Structure 1
Amino acid sequence: MITFIPTPIGNPQDITIRAMKLFESATLFLCEDTRQTKRLLRLLEERFDMTYPDAEFYSFNEHNGQERLDEFGETFNDKEVVYVSDAGMPVISDPGQLLVAYAQENDLKYDVLPGASAVTTAYAASGFEEGKFLFYAFLPHKGKERASALAEAMNNGYNTVLYESPHRLEKLLDEVETIDENRELFLAKEISKKYQNYYRGTAKSLNAQLKELTIRGEWV
């Protein structure tokens, strides 16, 4: 059995009781980053009296995912396998898709738990009226690919959700303002964390506002 378990995107209290019970019974963890997962498990053990699992831990990411499947994928039926990303919902902008496909192709039983998601949390907080949106995750970093992807995102006829790193956020706002300075934007900073903040306005006004700030943390 393979279980895909969402983890908190900021506040540890957003973990579910079901997730912690499955963590305790797991025999194999596949993690985007084993160090991050072990830190979370120790924190849960300390704050919520969860028993730290007696399990094996292996990284599973875009660089070694296929190698891991070739190495011990055939043993999954005999183990309680848990897959977690560093934060949030597995498989969403995350290498876990390869594991889902493997389970489907090999008739392995799997489950996906509901839980924390930066995409849906940010969209709910935006207040945008249109219920439909498209999720683009991260844009390409530079060049024609980035320009093309941004143009597509801004002209698809739907609200669009993007992730962006703090050191490229100012560049993104400059690009959006150049294309359409009156485009209505919503920015969510550090969702569920101590310094969470929301910003809504036109591309021009938000760009000016954020140039006065030190841009750190995670943004949607």
Structure 2
Amino acid sequence: MELKITGWDMNLVAQKIANDIPDGSYVNLGIGIPELVANHIPKGKEIIFHTENGLLGMGPQPEPDKIDPELINAGKKSVSAIPGACYFHHADSFMMIRGGHIDYCVLGAFQVSQEGDLANWSTGEPNSVPAVGGAMDLVAGVKNVFVITTHLTKKGEPKIVKECTYPLTGKNVVNKIYTNLAVIEVIDKKLFVLEMAPGVEFNFLQSVTEAELHTKT
């Protein structure tokens, strides 16, 4: 399937998520595209970022001349720390997650089903390397799960599907899906389109989405 509409840049998608997360929230960011969210927090809004390798109070990506080689996130990328940040054991980090103390997490996805199931750790192929990390703990313990992903795979296949065919990370766990084409909310196991990128019409969006989409109007 050839996609003729590019839609939003993923930095703009990350900015939309940063705008939607309430002030004062504790947030965990997944590895990869979700990390962009930390760079787009609106001025005056306080978001406390948690990384599962033991930091609460992660800041944006540092400038090259200010990188601390010992200060990294779970994806082994250099990060900064805001004033008041604290460090702790890996086990304590997961206790925060499993104990329901994190308000939001932002994760990538291979597939999201129309009921909010998430598959983001393995394609299930024989030669693929499993990388579940803390994703299963996050979707089970965090109050709100946001997904950020491209709408289609590199091969042009829909990522938003009727039923996930890849190994699941969690069932009925996703609250919102943010792609380069649209913002979609999962309500009562149905997908409702909240916003579409410029030039994207509902019929086109449905044509590149395997799952059934709905509008609130």
Q: Counting strand residues as a fraction of each chain, which structure ranks higher?
A: 2
Q: Counting helix residues as a fraction of each chain, which structure ranks higher?
A: 1
TM-score (norm 2): 0.32
Larger radius of gyration: 1
